[in-house]
Amino acid sequence: MILENQNELNKFYTKIKRQELSLNVNKPTARTFTKARDRMTIVNVLAMALTVAVCGRLIYLNTVKSTFLEKQLNTRVMRSITIPAMRGTIVDRNGQPLAVSTPVNAIWADPSSIDHLNTNQLKDLATALGLSVQELNSKLSDKNKTFIYLKRAMSPENADKVLALDIPGVYKMQEYRRFYPSGEVTAHVVGFNNVDDQGIDGMEYKSNQLLKGANGSRQIVRDLKGNVVSTDVLQNAKEGSQVSLSIDSRLQYIAYNALKAQVDKSQAKSGSAVVLDAHTGEVLAMVNLPTYNPNSRNNITPEMLKNSAAVNAFDPGSTMKPIVVAKALDDGLITPSTQFNINPYYVGPKRIVDDHQRSSTANVTEIIQRSSNVGTSKIGMMYKPEVLWNYFHEVGIGTKLNTGFPGETNGVMLPWQKWYPIDQALMSFGYGVTASLMQMAHAYTLFTNNGCVLPVTFDKVTSDSNLECQQVISPKSAETMRVMLSKTVEDGTGRTAQTADYTAAGKTGTAQVLQNGRYLTNQHIGSFVGFAPAIDPKIIVAVTIDRPTVGSYYGAQTASPVFAKIVQESLKTMKVKPDKIAINTLVQ
């Protein structure tokens, strides 16, 4: 029994020992603890490094990159859209509209928010926009862009058809398109705008700052799918100011019809006409042919765009003669009855002759009446070059009129120091010096405004306007010149300028065309500059017919009849009382 118990005890003891050995084998050593600690350190370091990196990135994004990210977010979620200002209206002196703005739509897109469109969507969108699929794909190809115009100046009806396609990322915005009620009749005065509604020619260009107003802005907020969720006006647009021109639409149509009839009849290269108020210098009408329709500028040539009356300079020919005579008359060097020998003579190597010499002598009135080159050159040669050069500048020859009209010419006149005697002689009857038709009309305010030369303006003159003029000759000399010029129309080279109901005064001109430094003997410009009524002028009318190919080329046969038509109809329209009275006795 005892032995059995002892055996049991030994077995139990042996079992205990084995368990001890097993526990000793699994007991951690110092090295085991070291390895564990190293692993924990690595994990902690990595966690710390990751935390530092995340914090650093957050700091970087919120400081250095915050502006960029904000901009990117705003670009994708918020957008500021321009609210175009309605451009001011241009009206004539009587309030008739010459340029107005009509609301249209622009279709724009955000390429960055437009996913791939299927073939049918592309085709439908391109058709609605009037574009080819290739053009549309090209516009939408840059996914970095968030704004691009797809089509400008669409009618609201057509723009709605585009939006009805319900293509995400395609929108419309209101803008304005200019409309010109008088079309080609006032094209060279009013000018036109570009697609951004900015003036690029004529009065649209000159008065652009007044007309354009100030654009406003609207903020659009979209969700992540590109849908507009709200719009807020940040700043309202301010409409442009109205501009009132000196132009009288009624006289503009009269001048246009009269000029067109003659240009067509003569089959001329071009023609121009200018009508000024005789006592204010206001431009009442200005027309040129060829012209263009500013509402549809397809197939326009540079010649059509050119406002020849203001930008083309030509040799004025005999229309220059009264200006020279007026100077000598005012200085007391001559009187209307002073006699001159008008036989041909030489100035240096050049022989000066008259085209239609009737006798060997003529007085000053007859020199103007018969358009004598010889007589006028002798009067011009009475002056030193510097004196005559200064006088020409005083009446606006060789200098800009400063009307603000784009492209306005100076004309050409050599400095007096470079004049030879023959230059001075030729300038006296309108050769070797060039001027625009506008400059010639302006110079004749010398006669209509009692010797005080007026500035030319396209702005309507009001009662508050401070009209300044330069007194160049005396009122008495101006009156004498009016009578002498009326005799030229009554019984001289300007008889074709006579009207049915009104007296008229003026001077014809015919000059060869200057090309590449040489005068062409087979190409001419006919002109007439004058005013009416003769003694108490209301308007100045200047006309040129450039290179007529049918019939006569003389100013008396081409330009004078246009002058007569414009004067007769314009003065009636202005309700000026007919004044056909005898004036022969006013100057003896």
Q: What is the pLDDT of residues 457-466, one digit of tens each?
A: 999 998 767 7
CA distance 491 to 556: 12
584, pLDDT greater than 50: no
Kindly report which listed range (79-88, 174-183, 380-389, 390-399) carries the lowest average pLDDT score. Answer: 79-88
Please give the average per-residue pLDDT across 358-377, as a whole number: 94
Half-sphere exposure of 134 (CA within 13 A, CB side): 0
CA distance 454 to 478: 14
CA distance 559 to 541: 10
277, pLDDT greater than 50: yes
Q: pLDDT tens digits for 190-243?
A: 999 998 889 999 999 999 999 998 988 877 676 655 566 566 777 888 999 999
Q: pLDDT tens digits for 409-422?
A: 999 999 999 999 99
Q: pLDDT tens digits for 507-519?
A: 999 999 988 888 9
Tell me if 172 sits within 8 A of 161, measured CB to CB: no
Is 393 in a helix, a strand, or coil?
A: helix
Element (H, E) at 179: strand 170-179
CA distance 363 to 535: 21
100, pLDDT greater than 90: yes
User: Annotated catalytic sites, by residue?
Assistant: 318
Question: Which CA distances in Å does 244 have to 7, 178, 181, 460?
Answer: 134, 17, 15, 6
Q: Provide, rounded to the nearest whole percent, the portion of the chain with pLDDT above 90.
A: 63
Whole-structure pTM value: 0.80
Beta bridge partners of 230: 221
68, pLDDT greater than 90: no
Q: Chain-wide mean pLDDT for the chain? A: 88
- At 43 the pLDDT is 75
Q: pLDDT tens digits for 118-131?
A: 888 889 999 999 99
Q: What is the CATH number of domain 249-586?
A: 3.40.710.10
- At 26 the pLDDT is 52
- At 110 the pLDDT is 84
405, pLDDT greater than 70: yes
Shortest CA distance to 368 belongs to which of 334, 332, 419, 411? 334
Please give the average per-residue pLDDT across 373-397, as a whole number: 97
316, pLDDT greater than 50: yes
- At 238 the pLDDT is 92
- At 190 the pLDDT is 97
28, pLDDT greater than 70: no
Q: Provide, rounded to the nearest whole percent, the portion of the chain with pLDDT above 70.
A: 86
Report the b/e string of 336-357 with b at 16+ CB within 10 A: bebebebeeeebeeeebebeee
CA distance 572 to 398: 35
- At 321 the pLDDT is 98
- At 49 the pLDDT is 78
When pLDDT is cut at 50, 70 and 90, the band that residue 17 belongs to is low
Tell me if 188 sits within 8 A of 436, measured CB to CB: no
- At 230 the pLDDT is 61
Phi and psi (nearest 5°) for 575? 60, 40
Q: How far is CA 155 from the centre of its chain?
A: 25
Half-sphere exposure of 265 (CA within 13 A, CB side): 15
The amino acid occupying position 243 is V
When pLDDT is cut at 50, 70 and 90, the band that residue 70 belongs to is low
Please give the average per-residue pLDDT across 21-50, as a whole number: 65
- At 227 the pLDDT is 60
Element (H, E) at 90: strand 90-91
2, pLDDT greater than 50: no
Q: What is the CATH number of domain 79-244?
A: 3.90.1310.10
Helix, strand, coil percentages (3-state) for the chain, rounded to 5, are: 40, 20, 35
Please give the average per-residue pLDDT across 397-416, as a whole number: 93
Element (H, E) at 377: helix 373-380
**Torsion sign over Cα 297, 302, 306, 308:** negative
> Can you give the residue ranges of every domain in the chain?
79-244, 249-586
CA distance 245 to 94: 9
Element (H, E) at 529: strand 518-532
